[in-house]
């Protein structure tokens, strides 16, 4: 498994991973544009991520197939002695690859990447309905110490 920053050609596979998810479908992601139908907003978002050293769209490439993805944002801050934190968004592991420990290996790579970027804290939010995900992250050492609060603007 190779962990690397996504290139344009990976975007359709990343979108398919993002859409292949019950909770995302329930909030209207079932009709996410893929492949040729990827629309301008999504390409603009990709270009913005790609151009920004503080954001990395990560993919796990296994024999040419994209089997996992997430987005990392490295955020400077004055708290905790001026240390940087890494926010992890949009984590997906392909559903047919979850059993074999691939997700764990993927996340361990991601945490290593955070350390390389000088981050002293990793953080993510996960929907309260995702009980499997909570166990998964707890197994990696994450603590559910905070409420994750969201507001549509």
- Torsions phi, psi of 20, nearest 5? -85, 70
Beta bridge partners of 84: 119
User: Would you count residue 123 as binding its own copies (CB under 8 A)?
Assistant: yes
Among 36, 81, 99, 100, binds its own copies (CB under 8 A): 81
H or E segment and range at residue 50 = helix 40-51
Residues in the interface with its own copies (CB under 8 A) total: 68
How many other C-beta atoms are found inside a 10 Å radius of the C-beta of residue 12?
17
Q: Per CB under 8 A, which region of 60-68, 96-104, 138-146 contacts its own copies?
A: 138-146
- Torsions phi, psi of 147, nearest 5? -80, 135
Residues in contact with its own copies by the rule CB under 8 A: 11, 14-15, 18, 24, 27, 29, 32, 39, 41-46, 48-49, 52, 54-55, 57, 71, 73, 75-87, 89-90, 111, 114-115, 119-128, 134, 137-138, 140-153
């Amino acid at each position: 498994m190779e962990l690397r920053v996504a290139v344009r050609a990976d975007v359709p596979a990343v979108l398919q991973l993002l859409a292949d998810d019950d909770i995302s479908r329930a909030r209207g992601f079932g009709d996410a544009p893929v492949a040729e139908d990827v629309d301008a907003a999504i390409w603009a978002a990709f270009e913005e991520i790609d151009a920004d050293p503080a954001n990395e769209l990560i993919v796990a490439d296994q024999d040419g197939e994209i089997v996992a993805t997430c987005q990392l944002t490295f955020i400077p801050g004055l708290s905790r002695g001026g240390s940087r934190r890494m926010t992890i968004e949009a984590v997906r592991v392909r559903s047919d690859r979850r059993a074999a420990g691939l997700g764990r290996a993927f996340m361990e790579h991601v945490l290593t990447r955070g350390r390389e970027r000088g981050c002293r804290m990793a953080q993510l939010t996960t929907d309260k309905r995702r009980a499997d995900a909570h166990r998964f992250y707890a197994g990696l050492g994450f603590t559910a110490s905070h409420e994750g609060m969201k507001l549509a603007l």
